Structures are given as structure tokens and as C-alpha cells.
Structure 1
């Protein structure tokens, strides 16, 4: 009897759809997140927003800034909660060095693309990104619309 591996879409907690629209994602990394107990509980309920978050490296450590984890009502009576606190990311030294070198280059930044479960741990997918200009964003919209139209045409052709 083999265990069936769950689909990653089922394990996804939150996605930063804005990152793919605003940036060209170049290289991705998987990082652990240092969380408190109430934060894990709120993530299990799916109350996370990383749309305005980004990653910065300071003193040899990476931090997630701008992630908002809404506390549950039952937890917020027991603890002093900070929904938008800065959270430390857990990466290997080589990955940290690569991030630090890349973010010091002109035009590169590091953004959090998604949060997901890996077993019982919460992982963040972060990416080195280069900002898109306005005409690049318009081209992305055109490409997306064309692919939708193309799929619709193919569906109609198969029905006939």
C-alpha cells in the first residue's frame, strides 16, 4: 500500500499574485519561517496575507516584512498579538549570501511568492525579482488574454 503524496495546491496557505504581475521572478528559494503558536493556528485557518510583503537581509539573517497574519478571536484574548510583525526566515548560509549579493545589485529585490505546508512545517517560497516596467505589465496582460482566447477557441473546435 503506497501513500499518496498530497497536491501542492492543497498545501498552499497564501499566494502573492501581485508579485508575478509586478516582477520578473528569476530564482526561487524555499525558506522556513520562525512563527509563534497563535500564528500557526491562524495559518491553519487560512488567515494570512502576503500581498505587500518582501524579504530583506540584515546581519546575516533574512526577514519577512509586511506579511499580515490575522489572529483568531480566541487567541487574541490571551496574548498580545502583532499581526504584521517582522518574521525571521530560516535559510542556509549559502542561500543567505546569494540573496545578500543579489539584493545589493541594482534593480533586484526579494519577494515572498507563497506560503505552504510541508508536512507539519510552514515554508515560504521566496524569489529574487526584477521590477517590471509599465509596458511589460501590459504585455503580460495581452499574453494572458490571448492564452484564454486560444483555449476558448480550442474548446469550441473540440465541441464541433
Structure 2
């Protein structure tokens, strides 16, 4: 009798999600953006120390920047670098995508918010979305719909 073959679950590709953005906004159009990161930031993201709750995207001079995202530095990462957990990080998008984001923000009154951070082929990516703000009654309606769907699933499972 040998050891049982236990397969370890593959780690999730998602690093962090901005649940507050899903609650506060109607997310319309999504874009995948690369991030310009330093070495210690990549290490902290691999350890799952990223946070997007207070983050937002600023469009300036034809470029997109991620403000307010918090990547907690690891104690073991680097001793000669003074890490800034909330530094501004540049987002990498194609020119057409940048044009669509700029057009949505300036003409249509959308806001650009980060939705999630994840790994794709070894690179950190940020899912950003053009969004419109929700009113209080919209938030309540979304919550009611979510509760109703949960109840439906419970009833269907009990059958």
C-alpha cells in the first residue's frame, strides 16, 4: 500500500477583486490592461497581498494610471528598496482601447474603475471597466435579485 495520489489544487489566477466597484457601479465594457510593476510588487502579488478596494483609474496625457491600489511589501523581498505600497502604476493598453476608454469617460460620462487583478501567462493583468454610478434604489434592486436567485437555487437543490 503506497501513498495515496493526492493532486494539489491549482492556485487561482485571481489576485484581488474590487467587490465595491461591482456594488457601486453598473459595469458596461471591460478591458484587460497590463501593469508596470517593480520586482517587490510582483513578489507581493504572488503572495496575494494586493488590494483594490480604494483604487481608481486616472486618464492623463493619453495614458492610463492605477491610483490607490495597495500592494503590501513583503519583509523578505528587498532590503535596499524603500517600497511605496500605494504608488501610481501605469496601465498598458492598446491605442484603440485607450481611445475607447477616453471617449467613454469624456463624452458618455462613464467612470473607469479597476475590477480585478489576475495572472495570465505569468503576467499580472488588471481588468478595468467603463462604469456608470448606481443610485440607491439600483443597489437595492440588485440585492433583491441576488437574494431571489439564491432562493431559487436552494429550492431547485432540495427537489
In the TM superposition, residue 104 of structure 1 has moved relative to its aligned partner by 1.3
Unmatched 5+ stretches in structure 1: 1-5
- TM-score of the superposed pair, with normalisation by structure 2: 0.90
Report the alpha carbon displacement of residue 70 of structure 1 after superposing the two structures with TM. 0.3
Using the alignment, how far apart are the partners of 1:117 and 1:132 within structure 2? 29
Q: Which runs of 5+ in 2 are unaligned?
A: 1-8
1:105 CA drift (Å) = 3.1
Q: Does 1:52 align with 2:62?
A: no
- 5 Å matches for 1:67-78? 67-75=69-77, 77-78=79-80
Return structure 1 stretches of 4+ with deviation > 3 angstroms. Answer: none
Root-mean-square deviation (Å): 1.6
Q: Show the counterpart of 2:146.
A: 144
Asked if 1:117 is matched to 2:119, the reply is yes
TM-superposed deviation, 1:97: 1.3
Which one has the bigger helix percentage? 1
Report how many residues are paired: 151
TM-score of the superposed pair, with normalisation by structure 1: 0.89
Q: How does 1:10-159 map to 2 (within 5 A)?
A: 10-75=12-77, 77-105=79-107, 107-157=109-159
**Secondary structure at the residue paired with 1:74?**
coil
In structure 2, C-alpha distance between the alignment counterparts of 1:78 and 1:133, rounded to whole Å: 47
